Amino acid sequence: MGGTPADIQVKVFGRDLEALRGSIKELRERLMKVEGIRSVTPDTPDPMPRWRLVLDEEALRRLGVSRSLVTRTLQAALQGLPSEVRFEGPQRIERMVRFPNDGRTSPETLKGTPLVLDDGRALTLGQVAHFEEASTPTLVRRESGQRRIGLNIRTSGDLGGTAKRIESALEGVKLPEGAFIKLGGKIEEARETQRRLGLAILAALTLVVGLLYIALKTWREVLVVLATLPDAFAGALLALWLAGETWNISSIVGMIGLFGVAVQNSLVLITQAKSLMAQGLPFEAALREASLGRVRPKLMTAGAAILGLMPMLFGFGGSELERPLAIAMVGGLVTSTLFTLLALPSFYAWVGKPKTEAVAEYH
């Protein structure tokens, strides 16, 4: 993976660099119209202008001039020939004779370079050749063994949302044969991190389910505890949407942080109810006592957590990057706490009621 300081880099891979440069111009025009893009700059310097010598094969044969003579003459004119060698103590000094600097870069001057043939005739370079304007790339980038050129993009908004708009803008772009486009830069690293965080969420959920089963011993009660998670996640997503934030790395970390808080509240309710049942209270009475007796502690716990997230929520102290994390956690805390207080007791009474007590009531 090629490292780049750009937020997003549009990489164009292909064999023909000249054709790729033509495509880059069209891509740049398209990208400048995309919302959220601050600047678009090439990742390689512009090609250097140069002059290419084109020999006239017919004139060479007609005038009896060899290619080697042209090569030696130009080498002498451009690089120089030694005219004098002298020594000053141990130092060897060699004097070279060549065209002046302005003459070595002027095609008109070079066309007047004399060519002296073996038979004594004198011609000029312009009689057997001419110059064509061309360009030479100053830097050729390669990645995974392929040539590429690219555009470095600076964004002014959400990185993930801007990347999606860029991908939409690039659809239908005509590229040279065999060429293809790939996004890189920070967005590439961000997407890889999101993938790993997704795996971390699955691993955390699996671990939580396993620990809950070890603690509660029944899948029904595990289901009751886990019922809080969808509500917490829904609250987090709703809060992100209302705040105009997107699904990014920071908000994913906030989702992971909700696991513990959301599960803890429902787990405390169930364990408290089971403890009261062990003391001889019927299921409904134990559940009612556990629900009403834990209202104040649950509200205080959620309120303290939300107050602690307020600096990040409002971006105080340079914490703008952590704002999606705080928004996700605050939204999830609000909905999961309300669900635990208002809906979870009824759900537990419906799903988790012990069979022995249900049979006794039936009789």
- DSSP letters, 40-93, are EEESSPPPEEEEEEEE-HHHHHHHT--HHHHHHHHHHHHT-EEEEEEEETTEEE
Q: How many residues appear in the chain?
A: 363
- Does 53 fall in a domain? no
Note whether residue 71 is domain-resident.
Answer: yes
State residue 360's pLDDT score: 36
Q: Are 270 and 218 in contact (CB under 8 A)?
A: no
Q: What's the average model confidence in pLDDT over 96-108?
A: 70
Residues 267 and 217 in one domain: yes
Same domain, 126 and 249: no
Question: Is the same domain home to 18 and 80?
Answer: no
- Is the pLDDT at 287 greater than 80? The verdict is yes
Whether the pLDDT of residue 3 is over 60: the answer is no
CATH number at residue 87: 3.30.2090.10
- The domain that holds 283 is classified in CATH as 1.20.1640.10
Residue 1: what pLDDT?
42
CA–centroid distance for 188 within its chain: 3
Cα separation, 70 vs 114, whole angstroms:
10
Assess whether 90 and 197 both reside in one domain.
no
Q: Which of 104, 112, 122 is nearest to 65 (CA)?
A: 122
In a domain, 208, yes or no: yes
Whether the pTM exceeds 0.85: the reply is no
Domain region containing 166: 8-47+138-184
Instruction: Answer yes or no: is pLDDT of 211 > 80.
Output: yes
Q: Are residues 196 and 319 in the same domain?
A: yes
Mean pLDDT in the chain?
Answer: 79
pLDDT at 165: 84
Helical (H) or strand (E) element with 138: none
Nearest to residue 215, comparing CAs of 258, 268, 265? 268
Those residues whose C-beta lies under 8 Å from the C-beta of residue 159, and which sit 6 or more positions away, are: 7, 8, 186, 187, 190, 248
**Which among 139, 125, 163 has a CA at the least distance from the CA of 47?**
139
Residues 272 and 358 in one domain: yes
Number of structural domains the chain divides into = 3
